[in-house]
Structure 1
Amino acid sequence: MVLAAAVMLALSGCKGGDLVSYDLPAKSARYTFETQTNDVKTVWQYTSAKPAKGDAPELSPCMGDVAGSNTAACRPEPLIFLRYDFGLALDNTVRAGETHEVTVVGYYQESLAALPKVTSLKAETTFDGGRTWHPATTRATAKNTFTTTIENPRREQAAKGVGLRISATDSQGNTVRQTIPTVYTLR
């Protein structure tokens, strides 16, 4: 089962206990999982393997264990999640015409198996609401942590604000692509 789906839905604010898990075939296969919340679109591609009893950590039990309705083995899927430090002013703005650094951390759900390492991260920016994308310089700064440098244009050149698209890959070939249409506006 895909425990990641249930956790993602819980984190994205599903109402009324709408937690969902998915049954996947027992053999190893490549999957795509997509979600969109408040215009932020995330697409994961990952390889799932057959779960074994005890793969789910005690603090993240299988949905069937919680509800008491299913005794099948499950495990968290190897989805790369992204956490950001945008370094914004209190009004969610950044100075126009200057460079701005954003820190991006890749992380995973708790798992009993060894977690992969995020090996690459690519960033792109948009100043026109997503019609065109521009590469942003990115460098690794710590384990699973990257710093992206955005070259902000003049304010009138980014009237819709600055958007960000992040693509990351880990040591097992799993990927995530997250598009945030507007991260901040310029002042």
Structure 2
Amino acid sequence: MKNTVPSARRRRGALMVLAAAVMLALTGCDGGDLVSYDLPAKSGRYTFEAKTDDVSTVWQYTSAEPAKDDAPQLSPCMGEVVGGDTAACRPEPLIFLRYDFGLALDNTVKAGESHDITVVGYYQERLTALPKVTSLKAETTFDGGRTWRPATTRATGKNTFTTTVRNPRRDQAAHGVGLRISATDSQGNTVRQTLPSAYTLR
């Protein structure tokens, strides 16, 4: 993790992140590894990066100083559960992405036609004040990530967007269709997620 504020410690158990959330969202799983770490005393802007298999995600977010009551009673801090640490902690406002690729039973999409993908932004359940995802941009690649082109995207519901991809012929996307999503919320937090091969063509 990169940070842009002084490194003075302020609390433990500061963040509970679904570190495997990228692939969990793609596969529909509900569990994941929980990660906690210390953050500096001041509110600051952070960059958090994760890579699961070939899927990479970069978050940029602002961490506010936590109050003692930031952790919901029914979802206590990790330190309280496993280590007896009662230092203030809070979940961080990272934007996670969930996809509905609209795949056929063989996990493919028809080549040479326009295809809609639904992308939903969501947050950790422990977060008490939920921001709103205000914008989402999509890009596609047909050559394994060497070149990217914009895809039409429109808002279709709360934190929900539909991206329309014009699929090429199958021989023009030998490695499948890749997707890169960039989203921003009402608090200025961002996420950029790259899926080098989101789906294959038939």
Instruction: Identify whether the pair has TM-score above 0.5, normalized to the shorter chain.
Output: yes
Cα distance change, pair 128–60 in 1 and its aligned pair in 2 (3 A): farther
CA contact (8 A) 2:93 2:189 kept: yes
The answer for the alignment partner of 1:160 in structure 2 is: 175
**Mapped pair 1:107 → 2:122:** yes
Q: Given the alignment, which residue of 162, 165, 170 partners 1:147?
A: 162
Give, in angstroms, the shift of residue 18 of structure 1: 6.8
**Do structure 1's residue 58 and structure 2's residue 73 form an aligned pair?**
yes
List runs of 5+ in structure 1 lacking aligned partners. Answer: none
C-alpha distance in 2 between matches for 1:9 and 1:95:
29
Please report how far the alpha carbon of residue 146 of structure 1 lies from its aligned counterpart in structure 2 after TM superposition: 0.2
Alignment correspondent of 2:100: 85
Q: Cα offset for 1:60?
A: 3.2
Q: How many residue pairs are counted as aligned between the two chains?
A: 183
Cα-to-partner distance string for 1:63-108 (whole Å, 9 max, x where unaligned): 1011133110101100000001110011111110000000000001
Distance verdict in 2 for CA 1:114–1:18, change over 3 Å:
closer
Give 1:112 shift: 5.3
Unaligned segments of structure 2, at least 5 residues: 1-12, 25-31
Task: Measure the CA separation in 2 of the matches of 1:168 and 1:67.
Answer: 34
Is structure 2 residue 23 aligned with structure 1 residue 8? Answer: no
Identity %: 80
TM-score, structure 2 length as denominator? Answer: 0.85
Distance 1:85 1:112 in 2: 24
Contact 1:130 1:181 in 2 (8 A): yes
1:180 to 1:59, Cα distance in 2 relative to 1, 3 A: farther
The residue type paired with residue 194 of structure 2 is T
Letter in 1 for 2:19: M
Q: CA 1:165/1:10 → structure 2, altered by over 3 Å: closer, same or farther?
A: closer
Alignment equivalent of 1:67, drawn from 78, 82, 103: 82
Q: Check 1:50–1:91 CA distance in 2 against 1; reply closer, same or farther (3 A cut).
A: same
1:184 is the counterpart of 2:199: yes
Write the deviation string for residues 140-159 of structure 1: whole angstroms up to 9, x where unpaired.
00010000000000111001
- Secondary structure at 1:65 match in 2: helix
Contact 1:57–1:110, Cα closer than 8 Å, also in 2: no
Q: In the TM superposition, what is the alpha-carbon distance from 1:61 to its structure 2 partner?
A: 2.2
Contact 1:168–1:176 (CA under 8 A) maintained in structure 2? yes
TM-score, L = length of structure 1? 0.91
Name the SS of the counterpart of 2:40 in structure 1: coil
